[in-house]
Each structure stands twice: as C-alpha cells, then as structure tokens.
Chains A and B, each alone.
Chain A
Amino acid sequence: MRRIITMALALCLLGGGALMAAPTTVTMMQLKVEIKDALDNYAAKYSAAHPGVTVSVETLGGGADFGGAIKAKIQAGQMPDIFVIEGQGQYNVFKDYIADLSDQPWVKDTDLAFKQNGKVYGFPVSIEGYGLAYNADILKKAGVDPASLTTRAAYEKAFAKIDGMKKALGLDAVVAMAASVSGGMWWVAGQHNLAAYWGGGLAADDTSVIQKALKGQVDDARFLQYAKYVQLLFKYADKNILLNGSYDNQVGSFAQGKTAFLHQGNWVDPNMKQLGVTFKMGYAPHAFLDTVEKGLYLFAPSWYCVNPKSPNAAAAKAFLASIAMTPDGQDYMVNQAGMIPAFKSVKLQPKGQLSQALMAANAKGGNYGVFFGMLPDGAGQNVFGPIYDLFAQNPDNIDQFVSDMKKAIAGLPKM
C-alpha cells in the first residue's frame, strides 16, 4: 500500500514537473467559419516556427451564439487568450477581459483598430464593406452606366428602365434584397442598409448622426431621403426574397443572373466562386441622398482582443502582431483566408471581384464609416428588424415606416 502511495506521489511530482516545463499554449476563439482552415494552418505554422508556443484555435460560428459561448467560457474559468468582439456593445460587456493594445507595432499601420478614449483595444480582423453590387453584364445590356448611379434620382431612373426590360434580360426582379425576420435576414436592412443613414455622405469618422440617435433624436430631412431610398429598393426587390428569402435565396438569385443588383457585402465572393459566376460585377454606392454620393461603406466587422488576466497575454499579443507584420501573416490574411487586410502596408491583392472593388475604393478614398456597432445590443434584431419587415410587406406606407423608426430611435437611450 505504502509503495503505491509513494509511486502515485512520484508520478504526481513528475507530472507537475512536466507541466511546469510545458510550452505556452495560446488559446484563441473566433467566429469566422469561412477562414477556419486558413487560420488553423497559420496557427500550426506559427507554432512550428516558435518553439515553446502553441496556438490553438477554436472556431464557433455560422449563426452560433458567440457572445453566449464566451460567457460560458468565463463562467467555466476557461476564458480564451484571444477572442473576438463585434462592436461597442460587446466591448461594454467584456471590458474587464480586454487588454490595452496601444503599444503594439501594428497600431500605426491601420485606421480601423477598435479604440476607446484614445486607447487601442482591438486588432481589426479584416476590412469588409459593401455598396449595391451590380451585374455589369446586365447593366451593359440594359444601357445603364453604373458610374452614373450616384443619386437616388439616378437609381429611380435606372431601376425603372431595367424593370421595363425584365423579360428581355431574363430577370425575375431588379434587386435581390432580403429584409425578413423569417429568413433571418433582418441584418441586411436593420444593420447594413440603415448604416447608410448613420454614415452615408459624411466623412468616414463623422459619427454625429448616430450620436444624435443614441440620444434619441432623428435628423428629419435626412431620414426622409433615406426612407425614400429604402422604399425604392423594396419596390423593385424580388418579393419572395424580400419577404421570406434566406441568404442563399438572395445570393443565389443574383448569381444566377435573375436579378441585376445585390444588397450584400464582399463576403459573398466565396459564394460567387462556389456558384460558378462568370459575369463581371462591381459596387455602386448606396446613394440615398438628393446630393451626389460616391463612396462605399468600409468597416472592420470584428476585432481580436487579448485577455489581460491570462498569463499568456504577451504570447497572444506576439501572435496577433505576426499576422499583421510578417509576410507569412499577410499571406494568410489575403491569399489563404481571402480577406481584405486592414493594414496599409500590405500590398497583396484579394481574388474576389467584389473584394477587389472594395480595395480599389479604399485606395481611392472618400468612403463612409459603418457605425451600427455603436448601437445598444439587440437594437438591430429586436427593434429595427420587425420595422423593416413590416415596411417590406407594405412599401407604400412610408409615413408609417418613418414614424416607427422615429419612435424606435427615441427609445434607444433607454435600451
């Protein structure tokens, strides 16, 4: 008996000793399913090149409740060293677990880091962006010059013209836009489209309109112009896709050439490749104002944050820096993961047509900021979602839409 106890003790000691010498394992939790393989490979490569450090990545996404999963990890005492936030709301929730990254080498190389009171807290995962994607072949056949689409009046004319030629062009409808609660597509309208009202036509860092909204106020003249633009999109949208279509229905319709415009961002590039799209496409601005707008909407959809309570925080920071600053890391971002890097020194070009259009727009400048991340959590899904759904059911009732939205915005400070 005594021998067994001695053996067990010895084993424990051995085990303990082995643990002490064990390499640092940086744990990372992220939510982009589409880059899982690329990121896993990069992490393996990084681990191989850095003896003593292992990076292990856990991917959770595809509509999974990422915030909830992180909360569960915190409760279990297994908070990852690197995790993702998607905006102000999540920053507020997780701020006890977010390190100051202001001293990191990549900070000077990007405009899109997550900042709070002048300090940097988040590493921008990528640039995403959108305008109104168009099928260049269809527009050419219809005789519409996409470069002319810079005001709402121009859109009205172009939509009417294409609508009149639907049969000849083989179209179901002019626009593929989804806005329904039932299709799970409230975010196309309630986040991305509404972002035009928050930031369209303003300087990229001008948050005055959304700041006003967070105090419950609406810029009436500006909002009316925006509402007319939404009405225009809804009137010319494919009704089935608008009222209960899913992401696949919406993107599929555009990819099959059954609609001329698509209200989605550059994240559809991989879908386009899968669906074997060969036609040319590009982005036109969401020009909702009476005055000319030429910019697209560019933003970092999410940021990597480092958990300062972890003993591995330094190793985690080094891993993030390697993504931004090393050729291998940049190759991973652009070529392997197909993302548009948020760092200005990166010279590589993404492959997707829409991503290229965004990168060109980014280089040209004059784009608009995307600020829906500043709204209280749940505003998009629980408040704006049903309002757009209702407007889509009856796009003639623009007064109702305006009054619903004003009421909803007035309620924002209390959320």
Chain B
Amino acid sequence: MQRHSLTKALFVLPCLLAFVMVMLVPFFYGLFYSLTDWNGVSDSINFIGFAHFGRVFTQPGFLYSFLVTIAYTAINVVLVNVVGFALALLVTGNLRFRNFYRAGFFAPYLIGGIVLGYIWQFIFNNAVPALGAALASQSMQVSLLSRADAVIWAMSAVNTWQYAGYVMLIFIAAIQAIPVSLMEAAKIDGAGYFRRVTRILIPMTANAFTITLFLTLTTSFKQYDMNFTLTRGGPAARFLDQPVNASQLLAMNIFNTAQANHMAEAQAKAVILFVALVVVSLVQVSINKRKEVEQ
C-alpha cells in the first residue's frame, strides 16, 4: 500500500510540477509585484502596499476600460449565445446540406483572432465605405471603427461572427442529447414549434448554457488579440473630461501600462481583472447551475 501511493505520487509529480512552476508560482509572484514599485528590470524593489490599487481607480483611462469591457462582455454574452442557439436550431432541423452549414458556421472559429481582426478592419475601413460611396449613403462612408459610439458594437459583431459557430456546436450536442420521444410527445399534445423550443429545448439544454455563458463571458473579458488588430483601442473619446481610448479593453490597458515600464501598476490592474473575472464567473455559474434540469 505504501509503495502504491508512492507510485501514484510519482505519476502526479510531472503535472503537479508543471502546474506549480507555470501557474502557481507566477501567480503569487504577480500578487507580490502588484504591491511593489518594480519597473520590470531594476534590482531595487520597494514594497508600497496597496498604493497602485488606489491609484488606478482614479485614472479615467482605466475606469473607462473597465466599464467598456463590462459593456462589451454584456453585448457579447447576449449576441453570441442568441446567434449560436439560433444557428443550432437551424442546423438540427430538417435542413438540406445541414452538415455543410455546420462546418460553414464553425469555420470562422478556426481563423485566429489576429488574422480575423485585419480582415474585418479592411471590411469596415475600406469595403463598407466603398459600398457606401456606390450607394450614395452618407452614413456608410464613415467607418464604424472611427465612431466612438459604434466601435464596441462593431467589435462585438466580429466576435459573434467568430464565436457563434463554436457555441453552436455545444448547443447541437445538447439538443441531440434530448430524447426524441419528449419532443414527439409534445408535438402530439399540440405544442407549437415556439412552445416546444421555450418549454422543452431551452430547459433541457440549460447545462449547455452554463458552459457557453461561461465561455463567452471569460473570453470577452480577456479579449486582446482581435481588439489589437481591429481597433488598437481607437478612436479616442471623452470620459470624465479626459481623452481616453473608446475601445481599449482591460487587457489592452494592462498591456499598454506594462509597455510603458509601469510593470507593477500593470500587475495591479491584472490582479483587479482576475478578481473581477472570478467573482462574475462564480456568480454566473452558480445561477446557471440552479436552472439546470436533472435528466
């Protein structure tokens, strides 16, 4: 028995070691640095307590990034899941070529965020205005990406285009796991399509919603790549009487702070992002779990 548990421990060791070295240790290092004035290089590191945490909340740029990230996440959670669920309904119905559609809707997910950002930047900045010029539509000739009030909607649209297909796959799996007899019984009892979806499909796929909401929530909160290639944070907008970047999400704000050699301050912002993300996703998962139906 003694020998057995040693073997087990040895088997766990490589994974445990990797986890400790690349996750736990850097994480606690990060927590530590957020309480110092370290610039990323210097040998002298002074402990300054929670000074950064107080200071960042007086910066309009950071506050704005925080708020716009929440707005962006809210838009995404709704859009991605609604579109993804609608697509899933579509391709689980009696549709010809439905496997082709499934593959097609999923394809954008396979394009990396960087490439995708550049493609859509071209569409927004060149293709749409050219179309607008051809149609003599004044409003279409101004790129959505240069309008501070529209830019996060444009970003959400691109994000939905990318993630809806992925979320769709999860919904498809959940819908196919529902016993056919249930739907048929409802149909025989005279329930219309809409009623069957709202009363049977959605409750029965609640566990899928737990997953998809969690995924969309966390990916939107941490968004960086598409943000960088599509807008780089621009255009500028005014917030608390100070110019800020209208589409600069939290991750980009953190990165730009770090790049300006304010490493410890950036780390403090990263800790704030981490805490916010943990709180929000815990709340979301616990609410969703209550709605799940035991099968």
Contacts and interface: CB of A to CB of B under 8 A. Distances in A.
Given A240-B129, A378-B262, A183 B234 contact: yes
A234 to B, nearest CB: 13
A68 B259 contact: yes
A404 interface: yes
Interface in B24-63: 39-43, 61
Nearest to B239: A386
A393 B145 CA distance: 12
Given A93-B39, A182-B146, A382-B61, A389 B262 contact: no
A177 to B, nearest CB: 15
A216 interface: no
A93 B238 CA distance: 32
A93 B146 contact: no
Interface string B133-159: 000000000010110100000000000
Given A181-B245, A182-B146, A244-B145, A93 B234 contact: no
A181 B232 contact: yes
B41 A243 contact: no
A182 B42 contact: no
B234 A180 contact: yes
Interface in A55-98: 65, 67-68, 71, 74, 89-90, 93-94, 96-97
B260 A182 contact: no
A390 interface: yes
A381 B146 CA distance: 18
Nearest to B258: A68
B245 A386 contact: yes
A90 B39 CA distance: 11
B40 A389 contact: no
Interface in B142-193: 143, 145-146, 148
Contacts of B256: 378, 381-382
Interface in A225-254: 240, 243-244
Contact of B236 (A94, A96, A381, A390): A390
Contacts of A382: 61, 256-257, 260
A390 B232 contact: no
Contacts of B244: 386
Contacts of B243: 386-387, 389-390, 404
Contacts of A89: 261
Nearest to A380: B260
Nearest to B259: A65
A244 B40 contact: no
Given A68-B259, A377-B260, A381-B260, A93 B237 contact: no
Interface residues of A, number: 32
B218 interface: no
Contacts of B234: 180-183, 244, 386, 389
Contact of A182 (B41, B231, B242, B262): B231
Contacts of B237: 390
Contacts of A390: 235-238, 243
B162 to A, nearest CB: 19
A91 B233 CA distance: 28
B146 A180 contact: yes
Contact of A180 (B39, B42, B235, B261): B235
B233 to A, nearest CB: 6
A386 B64 CA distance: 13
A141 B270 CA distance: 57
A308 interface: no
Contacts of B41: 71, 74, 93-94, 96-97
Nearest to A390: B236
B233 A181 contact: yes
A184 interface: yes
Nearest to B43: A96
B92 interface: no
A216 to B, nearest CB: 16
B210 interface: no
Contact of B259 (A96, A378, A385): A378
Interface string B216-260: 000000000000000111111110001111010000000011111
B232 A182 contact: yes
A93 B42 CA distance: 7
A378 B261 contact: yes
Given A378-B262, A386-B243, A181 B236 contact: yes
A152 to B, nearest CB: 25
A407 interface: yes
Contact of B125 (A68, A93, A244): A244
A87 B48 CA distance: 27
A168 B42 CA distance: 59
Interface in A362-415: 376-378, 381-382, 385-387, 389-390, 393, 404, 407
A184 B262 CA distance: 21
A96 B41 CA distance: 9
Contacts of A65: 259
Given A71-B40, A71-B41, A93 B261 contact: yes
Contacts of A67: 259, 261
A84 to B, nearest CB: 15
A76 to B, nearest CB: 13
Given A93-B41, A382-B61, A387 B236 contact: yes
Interface string A241-283: 0011000000000000000000000000000000000000000
Contacts of B235: 180-182, 243-244, 389-390, 393
Contacts of B143: 240, 243-244
B168 to A, nearest CB: 30
10 contacts: A90-B261, A182-B234, A183-B234, A376-B260, A377-B260, A381-B260, A382-B260, A393-B146, A393-B148, A393-B236
Given A93-B41, A180-B234, A240-B125, 7 more contacts: A181-B233, A182-B232, A184-B232, A243-B146, A382-B256, A390-B235, A404-B243
Give the top 3 A-B pairs by smallest Cβ distance, nearest first: A378-B260, A182-B234, A181-B234
